[in-house]
């Protein structure tokens, strides 16, 4: 069956349409196989604030309402028609299953309509692969710190993936979760990271001392104790004083998260001998994290903020290094909630 795509210039760049619905952002992007971003559409749902966190079924229902328009918008902004797409890519995990299923079903439907190949991408591979996007791609080898709402890990990146060697990861909460939970304790909305960062800008990071787990050896992270320390500190201060000193509490708490990330990252650079560092995930959008990482002495790559938080351009970037499944082999493709299927733990 001949499609329009069979008649286009074979010399033109391959075009990837990617879809990302891991959590509460509905995203679609068009990226060339050279890593040029033609469009990157992100629709943040903004409806989870009142619940203090993401409610999976509500996220899923909103993805369903938004995904059609988000994909159309991504194609229109890139000035690409669906039949001219060469590969459809979609995040298949880890994440909220009900949310992932919307993206996967949409991607399968779009790909199948024109018998296009489809690539299932791991969300964490996507965060790492944000570094490979143009116009100035950061090439392996490097150390990658991914700090998001669901994950915090250090990986040795020696090629474009999809497999990476995990050097350390969180034993409990993720760094983004620590921001979100701390923000909630300080009466801020969800997502807490950006709100806490704004409040911290007016505070003194030395005002209070919070644990960074410095004495815990190795490269694993732990943030659960930090959140509890903030809870006790707020209680000890009493409501009025805690409220008066909210900015100091936010700044000191943020400092502890940043230090906790920096201590392990510095150790990993030393242990591996790697001299180049890339950071990604939503927490890498934080200004204090960015400036602290730039002081570690490694050559630092920080993607623009919209490529740190969840987006589909990073999924397209990763898809360039994942084998696409030809039609109709992907119709039974499943999603997964947890587990590093792609990342190789050591
Ligand atoms: O990567 P991401 O968008 O989604 C996940 O894969 O989880 O990360 C979201 C997390 C949330 O916990 C959010 O509070 C945090 O990243 N975050 C930030 C900032 N922007 C987003 N944390 C600290 N400072 C920020 N500016
Ligand atoms: Zn993410």
When pLDDT is averaged across residues 33-57 and rounded to a whole number, the result is: 81
Ligand nearest to the CA of 303: 1
Highest mean pLDDT among 43-57, 236-250, 330-344: 236-250
- Are both 156 and 232 inside the same structural domain? yes
Task: Please name which ligand lies nearest the alpha carbon of 124.
Answer: 2
Angle at which helices 56-78 and 97-113 cross, to 10°: 30
For residues 264 and 169, state if they share a domain. yes
Determine the average pLDDT of the residues in 216-222.
92
Ligand 1 near 173 CB (within 6 A): no
- Atom number, ligand 1, closest to the C-alpha of residue 148: 8
Whether residue 220 lies inside any domain: the answer is: yes
Residue 230 within any structural domain of the chain: yes
Does residue 285 have its Cβ closer than 6 Å to ligand 1? yes
Strand partners, 50: none
Say whether both 321 and 294 belong to one domain.
Answer: no
The answer on 199 and 102 residing in a single domain is no
Tell me the HSE value of 307 on the side-chain side, using a 13 A CA sphere.
Answer: 27
**Contact (Cβ atoms closer than 8 angstroms) between residue 164 and residue 129:** no
Choice from 128, 169, 193 to test ligand 1 binding pocket (greatest atom count within 8 A of CB): 193
Rounded to the nearest 10 degrees, how much is the dihedral formed by the CA atoms of 129, 133, 136, 141? 20
pLDDT of residue 171: 94
**pLDDT band of 342, cuts 50, 70, 90:** very low
- Report pTM: 0.91
CATH number of the CATH domain containing 182: 3.30.420.40
Average pLDDT, stretch 248-254? 98
293 lies in some domain: yes
Residue 88 belongs to what domain range?
4-129+309-345
């Amino acid at each position: 069956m001949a499609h329009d795509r069979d008649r286009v210039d074979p010399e033109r760049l391959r075009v990837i349409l990617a879809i990302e619905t891991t959590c509460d952002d509905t995203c679609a992007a068009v990226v060339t196989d050279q890593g040029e971003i033609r469009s990157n559409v992100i629709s943040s749902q903004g409806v989870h604030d009142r619940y203090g966190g993401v409610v999976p079924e509500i996220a899923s229902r909103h993805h369903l309402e938004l995904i059609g328009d988000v994909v159309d918008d991504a194609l229109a902004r890139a000035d690409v028609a669906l039949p001219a797409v060469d590969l459809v890519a979609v995040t298949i995990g880890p994440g909220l299953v009900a949310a992932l299923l919307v993206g996967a079903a949409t991607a399968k439907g779009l790909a199948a309509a024109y018998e296009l190949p489809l690539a299932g991408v791991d969300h964490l591979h996507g965060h790492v692969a944000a570094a490979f996007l143009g116009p100035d791609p950061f090439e392996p080898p490097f150390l990658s710190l991914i700090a998001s709402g669901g994950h915090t890990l250090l990986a040795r990146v020696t090629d474009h993936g999809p497999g990476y060697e995990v050097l350390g990861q969180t034993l409990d909460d993720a760094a983004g979760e620590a921001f979100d939970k701390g923000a909630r304790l300080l009466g801020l909305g969800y997502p807490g990271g950006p709100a806490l960062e704004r409040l911290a800008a007016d505070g003194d990071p030395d005002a209070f001392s919070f644990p960074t787990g410095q004495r815990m050896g190795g490269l694993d992270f732990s943030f659960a104790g930090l959140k509890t320390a903030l809870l006790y500190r707020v209680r000890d201060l009493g409501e009025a004083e805690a409220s008066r000193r909210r900015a100091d509490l936010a700044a000191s708490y943020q400092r502890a998260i940043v230090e906790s990330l920096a201590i392990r990252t510095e150790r990993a650079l030393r242990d591996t001998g790697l001299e180049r560092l890339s950071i990604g995930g939503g927490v890498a959008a934080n200004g204090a994290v960015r400036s602290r990482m730039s002081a570690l002495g490694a050559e630092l790559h920080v993607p623009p903020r919209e490529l740190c938080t969840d987006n589909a351009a990073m999924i397209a970037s990763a898809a360039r290094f994942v084998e696409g499944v030809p039609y109709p082999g992907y119709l039974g493709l499943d999603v997964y909630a947890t587990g590093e299927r792609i990342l190789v733990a050591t």
